[in-house]
Amino acid sequence: MDLFDSELRVIAAAEELVHGLGSDENHTVAAAAMDTTGRIHTGVNVCHFTGGPCAELVVIGVAAAAHAGPLVTIAAAGDQDRGLLAPCGRCRQVILDLHPDALVAVPDVTTSEPSIAPISSLLPQAYRHPDSAPERLLRFHARYFDTVRNGSKTLTVRWSEGHRTGPALAYFENTEHGTLPVEVASVTVKRLDALRPEDLDLTRPGGLEQYIGNLRDHYPAMPADANVEILRFRRTAADI
């Protein structure tokens, strides 16, 4: 999957920071994270014989101190030209609990290019901390900004994202559009191969096949018998 320019900027920020660390044995990994406004926050790990936080945890704290809100993309890079690093198990759990809609940059095992993965896919069948109460994001392609803003788009289908009912922010990928407040009214789980046009409010002939084709383009690893989430949502701002 091709990365957005915004995601490449996050990776570049982590790599630039780690290259500037030199041979400091106490700080060997740098991380960068982007928030919904496009700001990139950075931090480094802290090595100590009593233990110390990974760079991903430090950057989460840095972003929180800057009142960043939900994080969109996270990347970490190692010193001595180790390149992009996947998060450890503890970091995966923390990111999942605090920023469950973040995408994480990871090295592709088959190519030399970076890849991007939802945090949920890096920790399947994960434990979810019941008291974390993170602010949720609903990610959309930029082409949906107008229809979400004017309230005409009220349904979306997701795979392996673990959405729940309640307030969320609609976020539009790789644009300068701001987030829009929405309320997820319902989450219905159904098998992909059992979807019917009426499940998605489709009336146009061939609409279901086209919709599923678009889903497969967006989720290339999604199996034919996947359980997908049908989300119904509404704008909650007063300026609709």
Could you give the CA distance from residue 135 to residue 44 in angstroms, rounded to a whole number? 25
Instruction: Round to the nearest angstrom and report the end-to-end CA distance of the chain.
Output: 34
Residues labelled catalytic? 56
Give the type of residue at 204: R
Question: How many Å is the maximal CA-CA distance in the chain?
Answer: 65
For the chain, list the strands marked E by DSSP. 29-35, 40-44, 71-78, 83-85, 103-107, 114-118, 136-140, 155-159, 166-172, 180-191, 227-235
Alpha-carbon span 218 to 185, nearest angstrom = 23
**Separation of alpha carbons 233 and 177, rounded Å:** 19
Query: Using H for helix, E for strand and C for coil, what is the string for 24-77?
Result: CCCCCEEEEEEECCCCEEEEECCCCCCCCCCHHHHHHHHHHHCCCCCEEEEEEE
